[in-house]
Structure 1
């Protein structure tokens, strides 16, 4: 690898940015809404899906994890009344994870906090043009992946 190759530094900076964002956003989401960041992303995927429901396999693909991890994530959210299981009336083998009324309310509240936090993250160093450019570049990077909830 050439020392002029920007790929490795770019990748390392993406991982560093991810760690920074998780450490900055997770505490407030937890204290204000009782949600971990990964739980909010789980709920946002469902809230933006048609009929606000997804099969576990689809959630696993969108969150880049296993179906068993999705099952483990869903259990406490079910117990707290944010999601429920819903059978497919046409195929008994298929079950959906769907938002409850309480879940829709919690997602809306947490998303408002998340929007404010996003503005704070970028406020001091980024112009709107910079943010739009970063968003476009990351969108291109992830274009082939399922479940883009940024749109």
Structure 2
């Protein structure tokens, strides 16, 4: 997995009291038609030939959340996860990668790890994710989250 700069976001729908900003993903300046949540692109990573992992925020003070989207350039959005909570504030920083994982810090003194699988695997709702992870209900996931104290 490697970080890329060929992706950009263009605001499609504005944030409201009840919804996040929607932005279109552009690949090398070409519109894709893929809409993701978030206003600011914090980072983007190429997972494989077709999939990308993007990190976005909405630029809201004192209630910042990080939206993590796994998408396919051919099929669109695969999975969306949100990190954060009410009155939580964080800065996306200290990002690094290896073959199939991304490491970063966002809220508190915690080092987050996201491992990306080639195919979906079983996820047990309410037990599989660290505190602060919010995702749609379901039993399958491509993204596995873990945390450790930051060094």
TM > 0.5 between the two? no
Richer in helix (by share): 1
Per the shorter chain, which TM-score range?
A: under 0.3
TM-score in terms of structure 2 length: 0.22
Q: How high is the TM-score relative to the length of structure 1?
A: 0.22
More strand by share: 2
